[in-house]
Amino acid sequence: MNKKLYRVRNWGEYNQSLVKRGSITFWFSEEALQQWKSTERSGKRGRPEKYSSVAIHCGLTLKVLLKLTFRATEGLIGSLLELLKWDLEVPDYSLLCKRQKELSLKLPRKARTNGEPLNIVVDTTGMKVYGEGEWKVRQHGTLKRRLWRKLHLAVNEKTHHIEAFELTDLGTQDCEGLPRLIEQVEGRVEQLTGDGAYDRFSCYEEAEQRGFHLITPAQRNAKTSVERPRNKKKASEGAVKKRDQVIRDIRELGRAEWKIQSRYHRRSIAETAMHRVKTLIGNRLTTRTFENQKVEMAIACQIINKMTTLGMPNSVAI
């Protein structure tokens, strides 16, 4: 079978969106400068905050976007304010680091019709905190000082926007992160697609409780509840029946045909989102504490969603 060829129909618009991604005025706007100084009062003793959360968020966004250190971020902001001739003070690098964990961030999403059901695709990947580079590992092997976090993403199949994320340690399984992702999604989830790591009774129970359809391939050695009666004790009756049906469908149609009929291959959108994060942002977390790492990852997801909002390619088969 010949490989399909695709053509981007909206190349002009998509090309302009790629150009706008590098525009500093898109990330360092006049609206942010107007809200630079803090006007809120906490009611606590001591000197009030000088910089607003908008200023801290703006600085950290530039840090993540341009892959800067905290000190280099302070220098960049100072030079931008000087070029723009705004009489504003620059938050120092230590303040940016200290106030990072205090930020409460929401992911920007594309506006949709109220009540419109969502088709969500989920996947996980690793984000390095520290450790040897690939070249050293290849030449000398790995050492003990390596630390990774696991990033869980829930992506809107239609708009390619990241609807929810969760950052955990490597000991957290993919199926354990699923309930946390679903809780963050705004709107009704109609269908959720994930790889074989979500072939767990806990995931089927989550789908039954929240009323969405779960699409995940059963393991190759999977057996129905009739073949293994003890499976009935692991989950609710509805979850067991749904998994049994998936196993029977795969046996009847074949795994390849089942994936086509169930539209399982749409899960690749989540893998594309992971690739977009690691290509545009990087595969390494630069902050040390777990709280700051969560905020750093939230800012990264915000950046990806803003880039997606600018424009995406409309590819059609030819």
Cβ contact 56:90 at 8 Å: no
Pinpoint the residues of the chain covered by CATH 3.30.420.
Answer: 118-273
Looking at residue 137, what is its pLDDT?
Answer: 67
Task: Give the residues across from 117 on adjacent strands.
Answer: none
pTM over 0.75, yes/no? yes
| Helical (H) or strand (E) element with 155 | strand 147-156
Query: How far is it, in rounded angstroms, from Cα 154 to Cα 123?
Result: 7
Task: Return per-residue pLDDT of the chain as tens, 318 residues.
Answer: 567 788 889 999 999 999 999 999 899 888 889 999 988 776 677 677 889 999 999 999 999 999 999 999 999 999 999 998 999 999 999 999 999 998 988 887 766 666 688 999 999 999 988 876 676 666 677 666 778 899 999 999 999 999 999 999 988 999 999 999 999 998 899 999 999 999 999 999 999 999 999 999 998 888 888 887 665 556 788 898 999 999 999 999 999 999 999 999 999 999 999 999 999 999 899 998 999 999 999 999 999 999 999 998 888 888
Looking at residue 46, what is its pLDDT?
Answer: 66
Looking at residue 237, what is its pLDDT?
Answer: 86
Long-range own/partner contacts, residues 26-29 (CB < 8 A, 24 or more apart):
26/306, 27/58, 27/61, 27/62, 27/65, 28/58, 28/62, 28/80
H helix intervals, 67-144: 70-84, 93-100, 134-140
DSSP state for residue 170 in the 8-state scheme: T
Query: How far is it, in rounded angstroms, from Cα 316 to Cα 8?
Result: 7
Decide which of 3.30.420, 3.30.70, 3.40.1580, 1.10.10 is the CATH code for 118-273: 3.30.420
